Amino acid sequence: MKTLGIDVGSSSVKVSLLDVATGECAGAVTLPSAEMPIDAPQPGWAEQDPRMWWNYVREGVRTLVARAGGAGAVKAIGITYQMHGLVCLDEAGEPLRKSIIWCDSRAVEIGDRAFDALGHDRCLERLLNSPGNFTASKLAWVRENEPEVFAGVHRFMLPGDYVLYRLTGEMSTTRSGLSEQILWDFTENKPAGFVAGYYGIDPRTIPQAHPSIGIQARVDAAAAADLGLEAGTPVSYRAGDQPNNAFSLNVLDPGEVAATGGTSGVVYGVTDVPRPDRFSRVNTFLHVNHEPRRPRYGVLLCINGTGILNAWVKKTTVPDMSYPEVNRRCAEIPVGSEGVLMLPFGNGAERMLGNRYTGAEAIGLDLNRHDRFHLLRAAQEGIAFAFRYGMDVMRETGLRLRVIRAGYANLFLSPVFRQTLATLCGADIELYNTDGALGAARGAALGAGLYASREETFASLRKIDEVRPDPADRDVLERGYARWKAELENRLGRASHGTSV
């Protein structure tokens, strides 16, 4: 008995097969072999054709259904996807334009105007966020700039909702999905009609919303024949990539935090307190297991300048050295990098810094004492300092930090980085070998009742390593962090006063 997990990213589509009995991955396909293209007709724009996603989903599902042993072997399907993208469908279910995806910034000013017009206090109380550059604001951009497209919209949806539509013929979304579009009223516990009204969005174009976990629709006859699935197979899980990453790591209750350390870094923590960040440095959405009587909110922090700094320093100083060797040499440098600090904020404006840009910077270099491995360790420590800074912001929203869970990948392969982070944050770090597509397949099994409980769902999730805070290093790291924070805030102050940083 198998379930399928479909992960629609902006660079690739991954489909994984879960053996429900063992909890092990029974196969995976990532498509295409090169990255999917992102179209940028103007600076700051980013678009993809939803039909391209579907073509790769189709190819991946066909491959794994055959590997599973045919149609009857797959008992449920889960979907995860790149968040915040806008897909506009006409009455026939055809895309009216390319999807405006998550990294497209054309709607920033529209969201800012809405925040002022609707009222900051009202938005933060009822939406827990500013309207920002999210999906509703992207649709408002279409209304203002492409009225003929807007007039033809029968339903608008997220990338994962489009995949569900192609599988089942049903146009729907999830409550968590509405919250990531900034179309969920947390006070009224229903779609935010006042946002739709301000933007001129017809409520009839907002799809019906389901819980993230549970049977949402069933594969129709046409998709079943095309993909080799059995008609009626349930789609029983759907979530955006960051809530799904948290689910994949069994991060479901207050005090549990999921983290990633790729090119950018993401921290996603679960709380039961719906408290907004008044400065909009972090965002709050409904988590996948949210229920009104048992609320669960996901607080999302993104740091643009993380793994990209580590990669840049490596490429610049030791281009031919492997990452394992870099990590080994970093560990030979004393904790605190003997006074060298690095600010990692060189990959664009940072939301957690009030959308300000400071640039990346090395501080405290002594040309008689320090070498390139001091720089490499300082880079990893500086990234950990940035995570600590962001987690302190998250604590202001009521997040209680008990344990950090992460995939065993990217920066979390470095003993220096993960030990520094654990000690600075005062929390254990647990590392697991899982990914988004496999997590979606687990979610499908839970949502379809193939697993009876959370405990059964994650019984086979294997912990690869665990890192505990090191009291011996805490004082050195706290002193280093205090210096790092002072340097950062000095630069932020100069940026606020219009002085070059």
**Which amino acid is it at 1?**
M
Instruction: List all residues 6 or more positions away from 299 whose beta carbon is below 8 Å from its beta carbon.
Output: 268, 269, 270, 271, 282, 283, 284, 394, 397, 399
User: Counting Cβ atoms within 10 Å, is residue 283 exposed (0-12), middle (13-18) or buried (19+)?
Assistant: buried
Do 34 and 472 meet the contact criterion of CB atoms below 8 Å apart?
no
pLDDT of residue 475: 98
**Which amino acid is it at 494?**
R
pLDDT of residue 172: 99
Query: Residue 172: which H helix or E strand, with range?
Result: strand 172-174
Q: Each residue of 73-84: pLDDT tens digit?
A: 999 999 999 999
| Mean pLDDT, residues 472-493 | 97
Per-residue pLDDT for 21 more than 80? yes
Percent of residues, the chain, with pLDDT higher than 70:
99
pLDDT range class, residue 500, cuts 50, 70, 90: very low
Do 192 and 122 meet the contact criterion of CB atoms below 8 Å apart?
no
pLDDT of residue 501: 45
Number of helices and strands in the chain (H, E): 17, 23
**Beta carbons within 10 angstroms of residue 22's beta carbon:** 9
Percent of residues, the chain, with pLDDT higher than 90:
93
pLDDT range class, residue 497, cuts 50, 70, 90: low
Q: Each residue of 253-282: pLDDT tens digit?
A: 999 999 999 888 999 999 999 999 999 999
b/e map 397-408, b = 16+ CB within 10 Å: bbbebebbbbbb
Instruction: Classify residue 200 by its DSSP letter.
Output: T
Q: How many CA atoms lie within 13 A of 349 on its CB side?
A: 8
The pTM for the full model equals 0.93
pLDDT of residue 498: 54
pLDDT of residue 496: 58
Domains, in order of start, for the chain = 2-241 (3.30.420.40), 245-304+394-471 (3.30.420.40), 307-392+473-496 (3.30.420.40)
**Beta carbons within 10 angstroms of residue 458's beta carbon:** 20
Do 118 and 195 meet the contact criterion of CB atoms below 8 Å apart?
yes
**Which amino acid is it at 200?**
G
| Mean pLDDT, residues 219-229 | 98
Backbone angles phi, psi at 81, to 5 degrees: -160, 160
Whole-angstrom distance, CA of residue 97 vs CA of residue 490: 45
Sign, CA torsion 146/148/149/152 = positive
Do 401 and 361 meet the contact criterion of CB atoms below 8 Å apart?
no
Q: Each residue of 53-65: pLDDT tens digit?
A: 999 999 999 999 9
Q: Each residue of 188-218: pLDDT tens digit?
A: 999 999 999 999 999 999 999 999 999 999 9
pLDDT of residue 188: 96
Q: Each residue of 94-125: pLDDT tens digit?
A: 999 999 999 899 999 999 999 999 999 999 99
Q: Each residue of 341-387: pLDDT tens digit?
A: 999 999 888 989 988 899 999 999 999 999 999 999 999 999 999 99
**Position with higher pLDDT, 213 vs 305:** 213
| Mean pLDDT, residues 286-307 | 96
DSSP 205-233: GSPEEE-SEEEEEE--HHHHHHHTPPTT-
| Mean pLDDT, residues 279-305 | 96
| Mean pLDDT, residues 302-312 | 93
Mean predicted lDDT score pLDDT of the chain: 96
Q: Each residue of 1-15: pLDDT tens digit?
A: 999 999 999 999 999
DSSP 245-292: HHHHTT--STTEEEEEESSSEEEEEEES-----TT-SSEEEE-TT-BT
Q: How many CA atoms lie within 13 A of 238 on its CB side?
A: 29
